[in-house]
Amino acid sequence: MSRAEAADAGATAAPAPAPAPAAARRWGLSLLLSEVTTTFRRWRTLALLGVLAAVPILIGIAVKIETGGDGGDGGHGGGGPAFISQVTNNGLFLVFTSLAATLPFFLPMAIGVIAGDSVAGEAGSGTLRYLLVAPAGRTRLLLAKYATTMAFCFAATLVVAVSALAVGALLFPLGEVTLISGTTIGFGEGLLRALAIAAVVALSLVGVAALGLFVSTLTTSGVAAMATTVGLLITVQILDQFPQLSAIQPYLFPHYWLSFADLLRDPVYWDQVLRNLGLQALYAAVFGSAAWARFTTKDITV
Amino acid sequence: MEEGRTGPKPWPGAAEGAPVVETRGLTKRFGAQLAVDGLDLVVPRGSVFGFLGPNGSGKTTTIRMLMGLIEPTSGTARVLGEEMPRGTRRVLPRVGALIEGPALYGFLSGRDNLMRFDAADPTADARTRRARVGHALDRVGLTSAAGKKARAYSLGMKQRLGLAAALLQPRELLVLDEPTNGLDPQGMREIRTLVRSLASEGTTVFLSSHLLDEIEQVCTHVAVMARGRLLTQGTVGELASSTRGRLAVTTPDTAEAVRVLKEHGVNDLAVLDDRVTGELPAGPATELADLNAALVRADVRVRAFGTERASLEDAFVALTGEGFDVAG
Ligand SMILES: Nc1ncnc2c1ncn2[C@@H]1O[C@H](COP(=O)(O)OP(=O)(O)OP(=O)(O)O)[C@@H](O)[C@H]1O
Ligand SMILES: [Mg+2]
């Protein structure tokens, strides 16, 4: 700062005295890029991804121990898709098993943490006011935050899928895939279906992400927003279990989550999958608008 | 609406053109609390404007309204010719701000903090970002600590980094809410130097502070707030001269001096060691020579005699009262 005196005075700034060049004046991806890198550089984000990566490892080892290397059939267990019995025959089924195991709680909980903290955390630490006077623009900032949360949805799903594929390939044989409908497809096509399923699972999280973002605009405490979002998730998951509430259940965001198994039929049953995606879009629209309405009129007093 | 960045002839105190900040009846109510009450503030272009007031008088709330962070309950605030908060997108790229202390990402380095704040500005050129960040760091003396995580910064280093964020681009207006908070004496001097050099480049500086010395040293204009209301605004000279100066006499015969001065209408007499001070009577200026002669006639041994110019502190206390308690 000692050099601040006189001589240096005019030089601070960029060689762009006029309003910045037109190309840079458009909405620009700078903020989104900064948002993504900032989120993924946080120790907490990496820890969440680490936990998600560990789930397939645990399932894989458990299955391996239980079957003792014997290719026997574990018996088709009740309600959920019975992928687990197939894992010993084909490691690819560990991908489906792991996604089915993490989708009800682990994945949405991780999304709830990231989405809940996105606005509230910055409001609490005060960095939000400096982003807004930069000026990031409230709509632009909210969109960047939502897009980053979505990026995290995909990253989290991918981490589970890739970890499961690696563990599956390591512990079990890989090969042709027998679909739920009984038909057999090659391993290559099986891999493609796994990719499609991962995409559908990631998109299934769009609704929670929007809900978390909305909650995040309501408070200046990141922890409170995370806890509220996760609490809501658990409540809704419980409500989805009561038969007495069957009238409202089709409107609960997790209701069609496990329908991704329908992608393993031949021909694919699209009905429930599309309903799921439609419901997620509805949640994204409703809570996204609510978040926008709240955030663009909110007094930033911290 | 956007013109060039700075006026063609930048010099401090140049009050040409439209004011940089102009508020009319600006009011903010938090529940029952009136934080800012009918504020009419005018900040001339090119001024270094000191914004004074006791704790809780509404300075930060005013600044937040000027920056579009909170919406006024009533009244209007115009910054660089546009109404806030509607004009934020056009106005704020030309404004640098430090509001109620710095706020940083502890898990990022100082440099990465600045990169992030700069990326948030849609008008900032990404190609020059690294260079501008480097320059801003240099300007606040943080270059050698730029790679350190902000979590590990001292209070003064954080304050400097916050200032650097306000200096990422050439600004027309710089809003600094207590910028020297937590700085060491060298840091304070450097901030003063920085403010002066920015002002000489044509940047208008709006500076809130409790340090009256500091305001007196760098500001051309001042406004004083108390309990959400504006008590006065004008040039520093006007404010100081509106408070009458005090007479000061140094003498070993203090008791006798007090008696004589009282006879001649000097009020509010106070004795400290061998110094007697008092307020000169109002009305037609008392001839100081007569007072001095009266003292000498009464055999008071006068060692020094004169008036002290009222300091900004005298003016401030005269306006806002002596009380220490924060207004509820
Ligand atoms: N978010 C809020 N909710 C309720 N009251 C508030 C809020 N923010 C400020 N106030 C009140 O408004 C008044 C003005 O506060 P402000 O922060 O503007 O004061 P200030 O002049 O900046 O004080 P300081 O010199 O201590 O920084 C205070 O009485 C404060 O209690
Ligand atoms: Mg304040």
- In the block, which residue shows the tokens 């730029």? B146
Domain annotation covers residue A145: yes
Q: Which residues of A touch B122 (CB under 8 A)?
A: 24-28, 30-31, 135-137, 140
The token duo for A115 is 């989405």
Return the pLDDT at B324: 57
A274 has pLDDT over 80: yes
Residue B53 has a pLDDT of 86
Provide the chain A residues 147-206 that lie in CB contact (below 8 A) with chain B.
none
Q: Any CB–CB contact under 8 A between A129 and chain B? A: yes
- Chain A residue numbers with beta carbons less than 8 Å from the beta carbon of B128 are 14-16
Q: B128, A299: Cβ pair inside 8 Å?
A: no
Chain B partners of A42 at a C-beta cutoff of 8 Å?
107
Query: Cβ contact (<8 Å) for B120 and A31?
Result: yes
Mean of the per-residue pLDDT values for chain A? 83
User: Is A24 in Cβ contact with B89 (below 8 Å)?
Assistant: no
Q: For a pocket test of ligand 1, which of B37, B60, B73, B215 has the largest count of ligand atoms closer than 8 A to its C-beta?
A: B60
Looking at chain A from residue 57 to 76, which residues have their Cβ under 8 Å from any Cβ of chain B? none
Question: Cα separations (Å) of A130 from A26, A301, B71, B195, B306?
Answer: 20, 12, 17, 20, 50
Q: Which of B201, B83, B164, B94 is nearest to A20 (CA)?
A: B94
- Whole-number Å distance, alpha carbon B62 to ligand 2 midpoint, is 9
Owning domain of residue A214: 24-297
The 10 Å Cβ neighbour count of residue A245 is: 12
**Could you say which of A4, A43, A127 has the minimum Cβ distance to residue B190?**
A4
Number of domains present in the structure of chain A: 1
> Which residues are registered as beta bridge partners of B307?
B247
The answer to whether A22 faces chain B, any CB pair under 8 Å, is no
Residues with CB under 6 A from ligand 1: A 301; B 30, 33, 35, 53, 55-61
Instruction: Name the closest residue on chain B to residue A23, using Cα atoms.
Output: B125
Is B97 within 8 Å of chain A by CB? yes
Q: How many Å apart are CA B147 and CA B297, to the nearest integer?
A: 72
> Which of B89, B97, B191 lies closest to A137 in CB terms?
B89
The predicted model scores a pTM of 0.82
Count helices and strands (H / E) in chain A. Answer: 11, 2
For range A54-80, the mean pLDDT: 66
Per DSSP (E only), the strands in chain B are 21-30, 33-39, 42-43, 48-52, 74-79, 82-84, 95-98, 173-177, 204-208, 221-226, 229-235, 246-250, 267-272, 275-279, 304-308
Note whether residue A7 is domain-resident: no
What is the predicted pLDDT for the residue at A13? 39
**Residue A16 pLDDT more than 70?**
no
Q: Which chain A residues are closer than 8 Å to B187 by Cβ?
A: 1
Contact flag B4-A38 (C-beta cutoff 8 Å): no
Give average pLDDT by consecutive 10-residue segment, chain B, 328 residues.
39 58 93 91 92 89 94 93 89 92 93 94 88 92 92 89 92 91 81 88 90 83 89 81 74 88 83 84 68 87 80 70 60
Nearest residue of B to residue A144, measured between CA atoms: B120
Tell me: pLDDT of A288 over 50: yes
Interface check for A7 against chain B (CB to CB < 8 A): the answer is no
Compute the distance from residue A177 Cα to the ligand 1 centre, in Å: 66
Are A301 and B70 an interchain contact pair (Cβ–Cβ within 8 Å)? yes
- For residue A11, being part of any structural domain is answered with no
Instruction: Tell me if B69 and A2 make a contact (CB, 8 A cut-off).
Output: no
Query: Mutate which of B33, B63, B69 to test chain A, going by most A C-beta atoms within 10 A?
Result: B69
pLDDT at A72 over 50: no
For residue A156, give both structure tokens: 């989290």
* Residue B99, CA atoms < 13 Å, CB-side half-sphere: 28
Q: What percent of chain A has pLDDT over 70?
A: 86
For a pocket test of ligand 1, which of B26, B41, B57, B230 has the largest count of ligand atoms closer than 8 A to its C-beta? B57
Which pLDDT score is estimated for B210? 80
Residue A8 falls inside a structural domain: no
Q: What is the pLDDT of residues A164-203, one digit of tens each?
A: 999 998 988 888 887 877 788 888 888 898 999 999 999 9
pLDDT above 90 (res A37): yes
Chain B residue numbers touching A25 (CB-CB < 8 A) = 122-123
pLDDT for the residue B3: 39
Nearest CA in chain B to A124: B103
Question: What's the whole-number mean pLDDT along residues A13-25?
Answer: 44
B218 Cα–ligand 2 center, Å: 20
Minimal Cβ distance to A13: which of B70, B170, B187: B170
Q: Which residue on chain A is closest to B1 by alpha carbon?
A: A19
Would you say residue A4 lies in a domain? Answer: no
User: Rounded CA gap, B70 and B30, in Å?
Assistant: 11
pLDDT reported for residue A176 = 81
Tokens 């629209």 sit on residue: A285
- Report how far ligand 2's centroid is from the alpha carbon of B177 (Å): 7
Given CB atoms, is A249 within the 8 Å cutoff of chain B?
no
List the end-to-end C-alpha distance of chain B, in Å, as a whole number: 42
Alpha carbons B144 and B81: distance in angstroms, whole number: 39
Q: Count how many pairs of residues, chain A against chain B, have C-beta atoms within 8 Å.
A: 156
Domain assignment present for A285: yes
Tell whether A36 lies on the interface with B, counting CB pairs under 8 A: no
Is A13 a member of any domain? no
Among protein residues, the one whose CA lies closest to atom 7 of ligand 1: B30
Cα–ligand 1 centroid distance for B63 (angstroms): 11
Cα of A182 to ligand 1 centre, how many Å? Answer: 70
**Kind and range of the H or E run holding B100:** none
When pLDDT is averaged across residues A246-258 and rounded to a whole number, the result is: 86
- DSSP class of residue B281? P
Determine the pLDDT at residue B64.
94
More confident residue, A108 or A8: A108
What's the pLDDT at B217?
A: 83
pLDDT at position B178: 87
Residue A184: enclosing H or E segment and its boundaries? strand A184-185
Secondary structure class of B219 (helix, strand, coil): coil
Indicate whether A171 belongs to any domain.
yes
The residues that bridge with A185 in the sheet, in sequence order, are A177
- For the CA of B31, the nearest atom of ligand 1: 4
From chain B, pick out residues whose CB is under 8 angstroms from the CB of A18: 4-5
Q: Quick one: pLDDT at residue B310?
A: 63
Q: Among residues 162-201 of chain B, which lie with CB inside 8 Å of chain A?
A: 162, 165, 167, 169-170, 187, 190-191, 193-194, 197-198, 200-201
